[in-house]
Structure 1
Amino acid sequence: MTTHLGAEGKAIALHVSGACSGVFEIPCLCKVPELSTGLLPAIVFQNDVILVSRFVVSLFLCINFLLITTFFMKEFFYTTMRYILFANTLLSDCLILIVTNFLLIFDYFHLTMQIWLCLIFYILSSVYTFVTPVTLTAMTLERYVAICMPLQHSELCSTHRSLHCILIIHSLSYVPCIVILSVFFASASLSFYKQYKVCSVEMFIFHSWQRHLRSAISLFYFLIMFIAIVFSYVKIMKVAKAASGENKKSTVLKCLSQYLQNLMLLHYYFTISEDSFLQSGALQTTNTIFGLRDEKFFNALKNFALCGLHKNLKP
């Protein structure tokens, strides 16, 4: 959200003296010439976008708070792999929203920071950008085991194995970040880490081929997750055709619709949108839909949101 002004209305920003000893540099706005009327609509539009994005972030965080609180309300949720992985996506999405929000504000007000601090923001955003789609793939595989391998489900998807699964998810999500930062550490000088700049992902790209490498890694992850979801989808389709009984067919059809939703999300996440805020919005929508479609979770959520009143209203 960088404001570009013309020659007549360019703001003069001076760094506070002695700021080199700190982490941030705060721009000091001096006397600004009057802006031409043609620039005012663009500035007002950018201010409106900032306000709307702040409102959307606050709304998403409130929804996630409700979902996370509901998760911890019942022992069944935090002892079942499916819901544990769901909570992992919620926490990941919250972190992405907070980091993205901070970076957007810093960029809008031209707040600079030392490179080493920006590096921390980059690691968090890079890792947890992959955590959620990888977790969604793990949730898909869990449903595959539950339907196609019901006898092994309790053993393969226990609470203890859920923690191992989350550790594996985070390990896989660190790989792209480690690859990109390895090139960065080999190319950057020590003095570069002490410089003050507006934090952005592009400052860690020194060579054009690094962008191609980053895109290739994202595409590789997308293909692996796509193959895993399609494989599970095909296997469950076979179970659906052979299923007998309305309850079993209904369960299978819900899983199939969830798979299609995950496929569309992965396609949007990796191939259409490169904006982290839009990606967070897509993930938030998926999390909300999951919480509302799951009958047990929805009932617990409704009970929490209405402070237990809906139980008393039932005949």
Structure 2
Amino acid sequence: MVNSSALSGNDTESRETLYQSKFVYIAGIAEMIVVILLILCFCIFVCFNALILNVYFTTPHVHEHARYVLFVHMLITDILYLIASISLFLVAIYAVYIPMPICYPMLNLAALTFRITACNLAIMALERYVAICYPLQYFQFCNAHRANTSIILMWVVGAVPNVADFFAMQSTVEQDFFSRNVICDLSLLAVNPLQNTIRTLTFISTFTLVALTIVFTYIKVMQVAKKAGSGTSSASKAGRTVMMHALQLLLCMTAFISTVSETYLRDSPVMLLITNFLVFTCLPRFLSPVIYGVRDEVFHKYIRTFCLFNL
């Protein structure tokens, strides 16, 4: 009886071990599928952007317009943001140690490009506002040179919080901090309470100013559209474009949802973390150029022609 009970117990334990190993195996396959899906979506995103960039650099009159200069800048910024974010996320998920001199610049690049995309949307909304409300002065205020100048200013102003964060951190960390190998995570770099204050104030001020700019331009553009009294007027189209920028801003802000939700999902399965990152951080960026590129007549015509001849 004792031997049979022992055999039965051993048999039950072996079944449980087998079930656990099968569960771990299935979970590992699911995680791999989601990671492959993430990388595949990024590759499609890059290919689609390559089509748009090809139109931009091979069509002379396109890269002379401020709206296209700003749009292409947004695409390049999104590509940089996704490269940094996906790399950092996979490194953190699979606990890969990397040198701090690589980790810190990548975290700063992700934060900087995140803010610049929002600012770029505000500038694009202002461009539509000038085009509709001040059409005679449009080429004076909105040309390729001024667009490039605004891009430089975006990067310079956008880098100020990063510089402030660096000095706040530098005053606290030990001398060998930047010579360590770490699992690259933003929480590891928050060694000074002042850093959290800088990041919070930067996020709130940036998105508040951008949102107010988009609301202001939409109201002004729609006032002109109402006076025109035509649903097909250029002012109405510009109003829809500004609303599209508002939608893109909301999509951009969903990355903040991913950051917050990751805090509560740290002990969850890896697949859930990857899915959360894919849905809230990557997918909005994947959709943004599609929304604009397909809607624009120049890019839509080229993309349709390319698909007809290559599919």
Q: Which residue of 177, 182, 188 maps to 2:162?
A: 177
Q: Equivalent residues in 2 for 1:22-61 (5 A)?
A: 36-61=21-46
Which string of whole-angstrom CA distances, capped at 9 and with x for unpartnered residues, describes residues 95-121 of structure 1? Answer: 122222322332344321111111121
- 1:144/1:308 CA distance change after superposition, 3 Å: farther
- Residue 131 of structure 2 is aligned to residue 146 of structure 1: yes
Q: Equivalent residues in 2 for 1:264-283 (5 A)?
A: 264-270=247-253, 273-275=257-259, 278-283=280-285
Q: Secondary structure at the match of 2:171?
A: helix
Query: How far, CA to CA, are the matches of 1:123 and 1:69 in structure 2?
Result: 29
TM-score when normalising by structure 1:
0.79
Query: How far, CA to CA, are the matches of 1:280 and 1:140 in structure 2?
Result: 23
Q: Secondary structure at the match of 1:187?
A: coil
**Greater mean alpha carbon deviation, residues 231-240 or residues 198-207:** 198-207
Query: How far, CA to CA, are the matches of 2:34 and 2:200 in structure 1?
Result: 28
- Residue 208 of structure 2 is aligned to residue 206 of structure 1: no
- State the percentage of identical aligned residues: 24
Aligned counterpart, 1:84: 69
- Unpaired runs of 5+ in structure 2? 1-18, 260-276
| Native 8 Å contact 1:218 1:270 kept in 2 | no
**Greater mean alpha carbon deviation, residues 78-87 or residues 176-185:** 176-185
Which letter does structure 2 place at the counterpart of 1:63?
F
Shift of residue 209 of structure 1?
5.6
Query: How far, CA to CA, are the matches of 2:155 and 2:33 in structure 1?
Result: 36
- The structure with the largest alpha-carbon Rg is 2
Query: How far, CA to CA, are the matches of 2:299 and 2:24 in structure 1?
Result: 49
| Native 8 Å contact 1:229 1:263 kept in 2 | yes
Query: How far, CA to CA, are the matches of 2:68 and 2:171 in structure 1?
Result: 41
- 1:285/1:294 CA distance change after superposition, 3 Å: same
Which letter does structure 2 place at the counterpart of 1:186?
S
- Unpaired runs of 5+ in structure 1? 1-33, 310-315
Cα RMSD between the aligned structures? Answer: 2.4
TM-score when normalising by structure 2:
0.80
Shift of residue 161 of structure 1?
1.1
Query: How far, CA to CA, are the matches of 1:287 and 1:164 in structure 2?
Result: 22
Q: Equivalent residues in 2 for 1:1-315 (5 A)?
A: 36-208=21-193, 210-243=195-228, 247=232, 249=233, 251-270=234-253, 273-275=257-259, 278-306=280-308
- 1:194/1:151 CA distance change after superposition, 3 Å: same
Which string of whole-angstrom CA distances, capped at 9 and with x for unpartnered residues, describes residues 8-53 of structure 1? Answer: xxxxxxxxxxxxxxxxxxxxxxxxxx97444334333322221111
- 1:37/1:299 CA distance change after superposition, 3 Å: closer
Which string of whole-angstrom CA distances, capped at 9 and with x for unpartnered residues, describes residues 108-136 of structure 1? Answer: 44321111111121121111111211111
Aligned counterpart, 1:18: none
| Native 8 Å contact 2:67 2:124 kept in 1 | yes
In the alignment of these two chains, the number of paired residues is: 274
Which letter does structure 2 place at the counterpart of 1:181?
F
Shift of residue 304 of structure 1?
4.1
Which letter does structure 1 place at the counterpart of 2:294?
L
Which letter does structure 2 place at the counterpart of 1:156?
F
Query: How far, CA to CA, are the matches of 1:239 and 1:38 in structure 2?
Result: 61
